[in-house]
């Protein structure tokens, strides 16, 4: 039988051991290995703890080593490679990972698959947008998206609003990116032109609370919107001028508890978005909340 060893006799290694014990089909663990001398020689969860050199003494050859050390993985990886072990062949990173939103909410998985071919937005960004759209049902005001492209994220938001009287307003040229500032922005006029009003209208045709506003934002804002309020605004515009215009118009019109979510804030390909949001927040004493997927949230208190 192939030997299975856990590298790391700390909290994460012990948690992995306990998790394996709950699964009757999991491999039998021979021992722990740890580079901390104070742990070597101990018995943890009924198993001995050996120094890393122990891995070279095994008669059956290199084992399968599950490395459960969290942020210290790269350091351990180098140590194991110096011992002659190869990553993914002899050892792997077994640090516990959080569940995907679709694992927690199975109903989200088919919706994710439904919108995937209509958007460039990844699942780790679709999930927060969906949850915020659901939350927006409890906040006064309509929803808006600026930067619709092929309509995938708009479809996601429309699904989240099923049964609500709130309106979803969609702003886009529907013919590609407008003029940008090459000194600030990476994207140029005409990028993302592979879309159309007709195609997006067809995609969202069954949703009666969706309104399209084709053209250049903010020129396409309805004149009677002076006193309109919003519960959620999704900004996916990629460039400085558009992002700043969104901040200037929508943030003052957010209801208490309302949120603006900027899809491209953390992406190196969209530096103008981060610059615009940071400038607006700096001028209005606001704090943005950054998500690891690259999005940023701005909430009205």
* pLDDT, mean of residues 278-289: 98
* pLDDT, mean of residues 54-66: 86
* pLDDT, mean of residues 50-54: 95
* pLDDT, mean of residues 167-173: 97
Domain boundaries, the chain: 4-93, 101-299
* pLDDT, mean of residues 64-81: 94
200 touches 145 (CB < 8 A): no
Per-residue model confidence (pLDDT) at position 1 = 46
Which residues does residue 232 pair with via DSSP β-bridges, in sequence order? 143, 259
Band the pLDDT of 238: cuts 50, 70, 90.
very high
Band the pLDDT of 244: cuts 50, 70, 90.
very high
* pLDDT, mean of residues 199-209: 96
Band the pLDDT of 2: cuts 50, 70, 90.
low
Question: What single-letter DSSP state applies at residue 285?
Answer: T
Given a cut of 90, is residue 171 above it in pLDDT? yes
Band the pLDDT of 162: cuts 50, 70, 90.
very high
The percentage of residues in the chain with a pLDDT greater than 90, rounded to a whole number, is 86
* pLDDT, mean of residues 226-248: 96
Tokens representing 125 are 């960004």
Domain 101-299 part of CATH 3.40.50.150: yes
Given a cut of 80, is residue 3 above it in pLDDT? no
| Calculated CA dihedral for residues 237, 126, 124, 193, nearest 10 degrees | -40
* pLDDT, mean of residues 212-230: 95
Nearest alpha-carbon partner for 239 in 267, 219, 206: 267
Fold designation for 4-93: Rossmann fold (3.40.50)
Q: What is the pLDDT of residues 13-29, one digit of tens each?
A: 999 999 888 887 777 89
* pLDDT, mean of residues 71-100: 92
Question: What single-letter DSSP state applies at residue 158?
Answer: H
Given a cut of 80, is residue 298 above it in pLDDT? yes
* pLDDT, mean of residues 259-288: 97
Given a cut of 80, is residue 243 above it in pLDDT? yes
In residues, how long is the chain? 301
Cis amide leading into 246 (omega within 30): no
């Amino acid at each position: 039988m192939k030997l299975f060893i856990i590298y790391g006799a700390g909290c994460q290694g012990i948690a992995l051991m306990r998790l394996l014990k709950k699964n009757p089909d999991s491999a039998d663990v021979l021992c722990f290995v740890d580079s901390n001398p104070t742990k070597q020689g101990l018995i943890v969860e009924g198993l001995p703890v050996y120094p890393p050199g122990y891995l070279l003494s095994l008669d059956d050859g290199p084992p399968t080593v599950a490395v459960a050390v969290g942020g210290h993985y790269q350091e351990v990886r180098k140590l194991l490679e110096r011992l002659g072990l190869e990553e993914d062949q002899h050892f792997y990173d077994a640090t516990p990972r959080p569940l995907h939103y679709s694992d927690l909410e199975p109903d989200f998985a088919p919706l994710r698959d439904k919108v995937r071919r209509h958007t460039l937005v990844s699942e780790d960004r679709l999930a927060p947008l969906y949850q915020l759209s659901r939350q927006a049902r409890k906040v006064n005001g309509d929803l808006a998206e600026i930067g619709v492209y092929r309509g995938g994220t708009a479809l996601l938001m429309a699904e989240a609003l099923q049964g609500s009287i709130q309106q979803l307003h969609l702003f886009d040229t529907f013919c590609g990116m407008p003029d940008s500032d090459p000194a600030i922005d990476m994207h140029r006029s005409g990028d993302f032109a592979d879309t159309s009003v007709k195609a997006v209208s067809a995609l969202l045709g069954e949703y009666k609370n969706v309104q399209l506003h084709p053209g250049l934002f903010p020129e396409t804002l309805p004149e009677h919107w002076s006193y309109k309020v919003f519960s959620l605004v999704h900004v996916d515009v990629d460039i400085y001028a558009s992002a700043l215009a969104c901040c200037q118009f929508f943030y003052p019109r957010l209801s208490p508890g309302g949120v603006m979510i900027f899809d491209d804030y953390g992406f190196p390909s969209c530096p103008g978005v981060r610059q615009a949001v940071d400038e607006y927040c700096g001028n209005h004493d606001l704090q943005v909340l950054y998500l690891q997927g690259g999005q940023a949230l701005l909430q009205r208190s």
